[in-house]
Amino acid sequence: MTITEERQNLYFDLIDKLLSCPNGQEPEVLETHPELLDAGFIKTILQVAAVFAHQGNDEGAKFLIHIARELSKQLGLYPEIPEVPAKE
């Protein structure tokens, strides 16, 4: 799937909103743009997270990866991996 430049910019705008919203408001921000919640958005989040990690912004990278993982689960794009009990 090719992402248009316009759609890419919409993804970036939504990522900016996620990064600047008050903690815990992320679901509300995402719910306001259901048309953007797709595999392309998740891919864009992970690209931005990689840039953040490269720039030393580990907190931002971890936050975005968490959002991408949760969204992937909600959209059915992320296989559920059962918790493996720790060996004692």
What are the per-10-residue average pLDDT scores of the chain (88 residues)?
86 96 93 94 96 96 94 80 60
> Residue 18 belongs to what H/E stretch?
helix 5-20
Structural tokens at position 76: 């059915």
d(CA 58, CA 76): 27
Place of tokens 């048309």: 35
Q: What is the model's pLDDT at position 78? A: 65
Q: What is the model's pLDDT at position 76? A: 87
Q: What is the model's pLDDT at position 31? A: 93
Q: 23-32: b or e for each residue (b if 16 or more CB lie within 10 Å)?
A: eeebeebbee
pTM score, two decimals?
Answer: 0.81
Q: What is the model's pLDDT at position 3? A: 78
